[in-house]
Structure 1
Amino acid sequence: MKKKDMIALAVAVIIVLIGGGLFIKTRVAVSENRLASNITKAVQNKDGALFLKQFSKDNQNIKFSNIGAQSVVKDLHDNATDPASEIGKIITDDRTVAGTKVNYSFTVESKKVMGLFTSYYLTTRKSPVHVTNYTGYGDDMTITMTSGGKRQTVTKSQLSSGLFPGKYDFDITSGGEDDGSYWVRAAGDGDTIDLSVTEY
């Protein structure tokens, strides 16, 4: 290989390495400022999907997390008394957003991407829901989640495995009778939520 060709190849390799590094730094790795900006944008647009993407893969895969994330951004958008433009920064600073229906518990963590760049993301803890039936019908109970625009039957074991932060609405029937509508709010603190089902 000629010296001229070797120099051209070396320059091309350097350009690819620099370009790849810049791509990873700006597109793959998430800075704290970008994380805060993404959270703020999600809240301002009530975009639960974008909000959920800011969390670890484990958190994103929690059952019904899309429903919880959507309800969190709605709560932050509709009820926060802090300026909407500051919500992302407040969360990434590990502070509580004022005015919401519940004090959400989110933690900022980081990981290395390609061993060079630090990428930041949110984590939270699942809140188990313990359902107790006081209707006298034992375990003869059907729990239907009505959040998220569709009705879906859920089991007590799914609820006890823990929910992503947010508000979840249920219709519950036991013994063939409608026992009414219920809701729970998970904060992400890992505390167990007691849901007591009673007769009218």
Structure 2
Amino acid sequence: MTMKKKDIITIAVIAVVVLFGGFFFVKTHVAVSEDRLAANITKAVQNKDGKLFLKQFSKDDQNIKFSAIGAQSVVKDMHNNATDATSEIGKLIVDGSTVSGTSVNYQFTVESKKVLGVFDSYYLTTRKSPVKVVNYTGYGDDISLTLTDGKDQTVTKSELASGVFPGKYNFSVTTGDYSGNYWVKASGDGDTIDMEVIDDSGY
């Protein structure tokens, strides 16, 4: 049984439509344009949506220790303190500029990858900042660190030394008979941050 020429043409047309439809879907829903990336960043800042902001980064950056806490603090900082118009923050970042007025100059880079070997998809990257805890209280290495952002969680010096996502992190520190509260701010420049624990209760 042979197919009629009309049937062959119909199947060919359907195949072309499906193919172009698939490419259009990938281009508009999978691949992220620079404009769409900027719009997502702006929306995240306007709504103080740390989850949406974090999704704009590479998978490796999303998996940095405590990245969810850092991302939430970044959008909060930009929303509350930026002197640039909130509606322009996404475009500024995608264009390679820093956002004015924030507590630190966050360092983000725009990179791209090919989707289906055809479409450019853009995303953000950053550098994690190692945090070095230095105990000057005289109690040596006997130190307990609790990250107090959101749900309190115990962290280790080695976890902090492995690097944190940009943002502000608040800690409760206990060593020997001393306890105190500390914070560090990471900008994404990759530089090591020294958190110096000092017992100044006698001053």
Question: Which secondary structure state, in structure 2, belongs to the residue aligned with residue 62 of structure 1?
Answer: coil
Kindly report the root-mean-square deviation, in angstroms, between the aligned alpha carbons of the 2 structures.
0.7
Q: Match of 2:47?
A: 45
SS of equivalent residue, structure 1 residue 136? coil
- Which 4+ runs in 1 deviate beyond 3 A? none
The answer for the alignment partner of 2:139 in structure 1 is 137
Identity %: 71
- Give the alignment of 1:151-166 within 5 angstroms: 151-166=152-167
Uncovered stretches (5+) of structure 2, i.e. residues with no partner: none
Deviations 1:23-44 (A, max 9, x none): 0000000000000000000000
Report the Cα distance in structure 2 between the residues aligned to 1:154 and 1:2, rounded to whole angstroms. Answer: 71
Spell out the pairing of 1:19-168 with structure 2 (5 A cutoff): 19-147=21-149, 149-168=150-169
User: How far apart, in 2, do the equivalents of 1:156 and 1:112 lie?
Assistant: 38
Do the aligned residues in 2 keep the contact of 1:179 with 1:197 (CA within 8 Å)? no
Q: Name the TM-score, length of structure 1 as normaliser.
A: 0.97
User: Could you tell me whether the CA contact under 8 Å between 1:54 and 1:122 is conserved in 2?
Assistant: yes
Q: How high is the TM-score relative to the length of structure 2?
A: 0.96
Please say if residues 172 and 179 of structure 1, whose CA atoms lie closer than 8 Å, have aligned partners that are also in contact: yes
- Residue 14 of structure 2 corresponds to 12
Report whether the alignment pairs 1:196 with 2:200: no
Structure label with greater radius of gyration: 2
Q: Which amino acid aligns with 2:31?
A: A
User: Following the alignment from structure 1 to structure 2, what is the Cα–Cα distance between the partners of residues 110 and 157?
Assistant: 32
**CA deviation profile, 1:64-119 (whole Å, cap 9, x unmatched):** 00000000000000000000000000000101111000000000001100001000
Residue ranges of structure 1 left out of the alignment (5+ in a row):
none
Aligned mates of 1:7, 1:61 — CA distance in 2: 49
